[in-house]
Structure 1
Amino acid sequence: MNWQKSSFSGAGGENCIEIAHIDPHLLLRESDAPTDVLAMPPLGLACLIRHIKAEQQR
């Protein structure tokens, strides 16, 4: 499986958010807990990201 690190995670390589694609789902994990994986359809991930951004703006 090919995990891709978020560009927002920085160059350190620690405590990163990573994403992978296994049709029809996207997989999301934190590098410090690689066995804990969230699997969701692309629309579900888009909704999660919108929710997190909205909470940060509060």
Structure 2
Amino acid sequence: MRPGRFSQTVDCLAGQDLHVTATYRPNSRYWPFQLIEAALYTAMTAALSGLCFFWIRRRTT
């Protein structure tokens, strides 16, 4: 397989009536997004850890 150019890919997609859309966020939003993602993962980790702790304690008593 030979590497091509992106313009060839765009032409191929356009020929099949397909389109590529890219959405970018401004650089000023980078850290807020990182903090939101970290908070979500931390909350999920805490919830799963609490569930596991509760489940293990309940089974051993």
Q: State TM-score, norm by structure 1.
A: 0.32
Q: State TM-score, norm by structure 2.
A: 0.31
Q: Which has the higher contact order (CA 8 A, sep 6+)?
A: 1
Structure number with larger C-alpha Rg: 2
Structure with bigger helix share is: 2
